Structure 1
Amino acid sequence: MSGIDDTDWFLRAPCGLIALSPDDVILHANDTFLTWTGYERGDLTGRPFGSLLDVGSRLLMETRVAQLLHLQGRADEVAVSLVKADGTAIPALINAVRDERAGLIRVAVFNATERVRYERELLAARRAAEASERRVRILQELSTAFGLSATDEDVARSFADAARDAFDASHTAVHLADDSGELVVVAGSNPLFGKVRPVPALRATTEVTVVTDDSVEFPEIAAGLREIGSAALTVTPLIADGERVGLLVCYFAKSSDFDAGFWELQHALGRQASQTLVRLRLQRKLAALALHDQLTGLANRQLLQLTLDQAIEASTLSGEPLSVLFLDIDDFKSINDAFGHSAGDSVLIELATRLAGAVRAGDTVGRIGGDEFVAILVGADKYAAESVAERILAVCRAPVAVSEGVVSASVSVGVAVCRRGMDRDLTSQQLLVRADAAMYDAKRAGKDRVTLSPQA
C-alpha cells in the first residue's frame, strides 16, 4: 500500500504504530499494537480509530487533537484510554503527525500503564505525606492551645474547634463528666439534644465508635441523624490513666470513608485532650491541698490570711462591717490524754464539720492550727457575729462519738469586729489578735462561751 512501510522494524517497534486515513480510518497497525490491545489485524483495518477509545478520549481526539493536527500538523503526548478487545482499558499516550506527502496520519502509541501506576503511587504518597503533615500540624497547634488552657472549659473549646477542622465535621461536641459523674456538653454543639436519649453503651465505650444513619444497632440515633440531615457520627472516649473524663462526638453531613489516618488522629487528639484534662484536675487538687487543712478539709492559715485581707479591703471600700470569730476547743489536751490522739483527730474533724454547718452561707471557716479555728463573717456586725457564735457553741456541745467512747467537748469563742468608719487602718493580723484575745477572755470567764473584743 502506497506510503505504508511493512518492514520488520515497523511491525516490531517497541511502541504501537498506526497509520490512519485523513478521516480517522485505520489503514494499518503494527504487531506491538495488536499484542497490547488483543485485536486481530483484520478486526482493525478499515475501522475508525475513535472506536478504540473510551468516550472521554474520543471527544478529546475529535476536538483538541484534530484541531492541533489541522493547525500545527502534529499533537504530542495526548493521554487517552484505549479499549481492548476484551473490553478492558489501558492508559496510553499518543503522538500524531499529519504526513501530507503520503496522505496519512501517523500515530505512535505508548503504553502508559506503568507510568499511570507510578503517578498514582506518587500521588498517594504525596497525599499521605500531606495528611501526615496536617495531622502533625493539628496536634502541634492543639498542644499549644492546651498549654494555654487554664480550665476544663478552655480545653473543651479548643478540642471541639480543632476536631471540627481536622475531621471536616459539621458539628462537634465535647461532653465532660461533672462532679456527680454525669456527662454534660461543655463546648461545641449537640444537634441531637432533645431528639435522642443518651445511650449508655456509647457513653461507656472505650473505643472510637461510628454510628451511621442506617445503623441497626442504634436505631434511635440513626433516626435522629436522618432528622438533622447528618450521615454519621463518631464517639471518641476521653480516657487517661484509666480515668474516664468525657467524650468527643463528631457529626458528619456526608457519609465518609473513615480511613486509618482518621482513626489515628481521633485517638491522638483524644489522648492529648484526656491528658490535659487530667493534668488540670491534678493541678486543682494540688492547689486545693496547698490552701486547705489536710485533716479537716477546711481553709488553712494561708487561705484564711488571703481571705481576710480581701475581706478587710472590701469592707473598707464598702463601709460594711466585718467580723472574725476565733475558736478554741476547751481542754483539748485532756481529750488527747484520755482517749488518744486518734480520738482527738476525730473530735477535730467532727467539730470542724459542725462549725462549717453553723456559719452562714458565704462565710469562710478554717483551721488556723492545733485545736484553733477561725470564721470570717463578711457583712456581720457584732450582733450578727454573736448570734453565729452562740449557734456554734450549741452545736459543739453535743457529744462526739469516737472509737474509744464518747467525748464531751465545747469551744470558747472570741469575736472581733471591723467597724464601719472606725477601723480604716486595721490589718488582718490586728483583727486576729483582737479575736484571739477575746477568746482567752472567754476561757478565763469559764469556757464554753462567747466574748466580744472591747473594740467591738
Structure 2
Amino acid sequence: MTGPSEDAWFQRAPCGLVATSTEGVILEANETLLEWTGFRRAQLEGRPFTSLLDPGSRLFHETRVAQALPLQGALNEVALTMVCADDTRLPVLINSTRDTTAGVDRIAVFNASGRIQYERDLLHARRAAESSEAQVRVLQEVSRAFGVSASDEDVAQSFAEVARTAFAAREAGVLLLDDDGELLLVGGTNPLAGLVSPIVSLRNSPDVVVVDEESAAAQFPELAGALRTTRLAALSVMPLLDNHRRLGILVCFFGRSRQFDDQFFDLQKALGRQASQTLVRVRLQRQLAFLALHDQLTGVANRQLLEQSLEDALDAAFAHDAPLAVLFLDVDEFKSINDRFGHAVGDAVLVELAVRLSAGVRSDDVVGRIGGDEFVAICANTDRAAATTIAERILRLTNEPIMIDDGTVAASVSVGISMFDPRSQSRPSPEQLLVRADRAMYESKGAGKNRATFETPAS
C-alpha cells in the first residue's frame, strides 16, 4: 500500500489505515489501527475486514457498503462499530476508496469516540444554556458550517466567525501551526498584531485561558499594555488539539468586561473539539486524495492523473492554438540494476530519477510514472525546439551518478517525443499521443539508448 518514503506516515497516521482485497480480506493495517483495537498485525492480516465489526455493523457493511463501493468508487463517513481484541466496542467512521488498477480497497478509519463525547458535551451545553437560546443555536449551526469546510482556511474562517458571534467578542482569530511550529493567522483577525503576541506566553496552555488587563499586568506586562492600547478589556485563548498534538489556537478579543462562567468555558471546549476534529478530517482527506492520484513510490502523478492531465492539456492546446509535447521515458537496463544491486536500490534509483525528471521540466509541466520504470512528461505550449531543450536537460540530469550506500549507480533513460500542433493536425486521443511517444522511445533504444527521438504523425 505504501512505498518506503511514505511508510512512516502510513504507520503513524492519526487515523487507522487499512488495505483490503476487493473481496474484503485485510492485506495491510497500520500501527494506529493496531493500537486502537489491541490486535497484533498477524491477527488482522488475512482475515475479512467485516470480522472486526459487531453484528449490526457487519450486516450493514455487507448489505450496503460492499454493494455501493464497486458502483460509486468511494464512500465517505460511514458509521460502524469495531470490536477490539479485549471485546470492547470502538465507534468509528470510515472512508473507503476502490483502486481498480491495483485491485485493492483503501479504508481510512476515524475514531468516533470524541464525536460521541462531543455530542454529550453538546447536550450538557444545551441544558446549561437555557437562559441563552442564541448560544444553543450556535452549537446547532456549527456542525453545518464545518460540514462543508474543504480546507484549513475554510475551517479557520468558519470557526472564527462562529466564535465571534457565540461569545459576543469584538474580534476572533484562528492561528494554526505551520511546518516550522510557527503560529500563523489563518481565519478571522488579530487586533494585537504588530503590538504583542498573546500566543507566546499562553499558546501552550492545556485548557482555555482568560486574561484581562489586571491579571496580565503581573505576568504579561507587554500584553497588558497592548490591551490598553487597543482598548480591549480581555482575551481568551483556547488550544486546538488532536489528542495531545497541538494544531493551533483560537483567540477571542473582548472590548468590554464580562463574566466568564462555566457556560462560556463549556461552549468554547465544545466548539474547539469540533473544529479540531474537522481540521484533522480535511487534512486526512486531502492526503488521501493526493495518494489516490500520485505514485506511492516516487510521489509523481500516477497513470490516472496523467491521463486526466493529458486530456486537459489537449483541451488547452485547442483553446489556445498552442503546440503540445509528450515525452515518454524508459530507464535503460533497469533490470540489470535490480539484478546487481537489489530491488531496494532499484526503488531508490526510480525515486531519484523522478526527482531529476521533475527538475528537468518546467514548473507547469506534469511528470508522472506510468508503471514500472516508465515515466511520462506532459509539456504544454511546447514546440519542437522547446521539447528538444527539455529532453536534453533531462538526459544530462539523469546521466549524473546516483549515490547509494555501496557507491554509485550509473543510470540513463531513453526518451521518445510525440508532438501535437492543433493548427495543422486533427486532435488525437491521450492514448494515441502516449503510443506515439512510446514508439519513439523504442527508436531511441534501438539507436543505442540514452538519447531522445521525435515521432511526428502524418498531418
TM above 0.5, yes or no, is yes
Listed one character per residue, the Cα deviations across residues 361-389 of structure 1 (whole Å, up to 9, x for unaligned) are 11111111100001111111111011111
Q: Which stretch shifts more, 407-416 or 239-248?
A: 239-248
Match of 1:397 in 2: 399
Provide closer, same or farther for how the CA distance between residues 138 and 199 of structure 1 changes in structure 2, counting only shifts above 3 A. Answer: closer
The AA in structure 2 aligned to 1:329 is V
- Structure 2 residue 389 is matched with structure 1 residue 407: no
Unpaired segments of 5 or more residues in structure 1?
Answer: 1-125
Considering Cα pairs closer than 8 Å and 6+ residues apart, tell me whether 1 or 2 has the greater RCO: 2
Cα distance in 1 for residues equivalent to 2:129 and 2:367: 59
Does the CA contact (< 8 Å) of 1:339 and 1:404 recur in 2? Answer: no
Q: Which residue of 1 aligns with 2:205?
A: 205
Residues 1:149 and 2:113 aligned together? no
SS class of match (2:130): helix
In structure 1, what is the Cα distance between the partners aligned to 2:364 and 2:229?
47
Name the residue aligned to 2:385: 383
Matched length? 331
| Match of residue 344 from structure 2 | 342
Q: Within 5 Å, which residues of 2 pair with 1:151-170? A: 151-170=151-170
Distance (whole Å) between structure 2 residues aligned to residue 133 and residue 424 of structure 1: 66
CA RMSD of aligned residues (A): 1.8
SS in 1 for 2:219: coil
1:241 matches 2:243: yes
For 1:129 and 1:404, the matched residues in 2 are separated by 68
SS state at 1:367 partner: strand
Q: Specify the SS of the correspondent of 1:130.
A: coil
What is the distance in 2 between the residues matched to 1:147 and 1:199?
Answer: 28
Q: Residue in 1 aligned with 2:82?
A: none
CA–CA distance in structure 1, aligned partners of residues 318 and 398 of structure 2: 33
Residue 294 of structure 1 pairs with residue 296 of structure 2: yes
- Does 2:453 correspond to 1:448? no
When normalised by structure 2's length, the TM-score is: 0.69
Look up the equivalent residue of 1:377 and give its one-letter code: C
| CA distance in 1: counterparts of 2:332 and 2:294, whole angstroms | 23
Residues 366/180 of structure 1: CA separation in 2 closer, same or farther (3 Å cut): farther
Task: Give runs of aligned pairs for residues 302-381 of structure 1, distance below 5 A.
Answer: 302-381=304-383
- SS of 1:161's partner is helix
CA drift of 1:198 comes to: 5.8
What's the CA shift for 1:406? 2.0
Q: Does structure 2 retain, via aligned residues, the 8 Å contact 1:238–1:271?
A: yes
Q: Distance in 2 between matches of 1:330 and 1:220?
A: 65
2:243 maps to a residue whose letter is: D
Superposition misfits of 4+ residues, deviation over 3 angstroms: 126-129, 131-136, 178-181
Q: In 1, Cα distance between the equivalents of 2:204 and 2:182?
A: 12
Task: Confirm or deny: 8 A CA contact 1:414 1:438 kept in the other structure.
Answer: yes
The alignment's TM-score, normalised by the length of structure 1, stands at 0.70
1:213–1:226 CA contact under 8 A, matched in 2 = yes
Question: What is the alpha-carbon distance in structure 1 between the residues aligned to residue 178 and residue 129 of structure 2?
Answer: 40
Question: Which residue number corresponds to residue 425 of structure 2?
Answer: 423
Can you give the 5+ residue segments of structure 2 that lack an aligned partner in the other structure? 1-125
Residue type of the partner of 1:188?
A: G
- Give aligned-pair identity as a percent: 56
1-structure distance, mates of 2:336, 2:357:
21
Q: 1:219 maps to which residue?
A: 221
| Equivalent residue letter for 1:175 | L
Structure 2 CA distance for aligned equivalents of residues 152 and 382 of structure 1: 42
Q: Is 2:129–2:263's contact at 8 Å kept on the other side of the alignment?
A: no
CA contact (8 A) 2:293 2:301 kept: yes
Instruction: Name 2:434's counterpart in structure 1.
Output: 432
Partner of 1:191: 191
Cα distance in 2 for partners of 1:426, 1:232 equals: 66
Deviations, residues 408-456 of structure 1 (Å, cap 9, x unaligned): 1100001111113123421111111111111111000000000011339
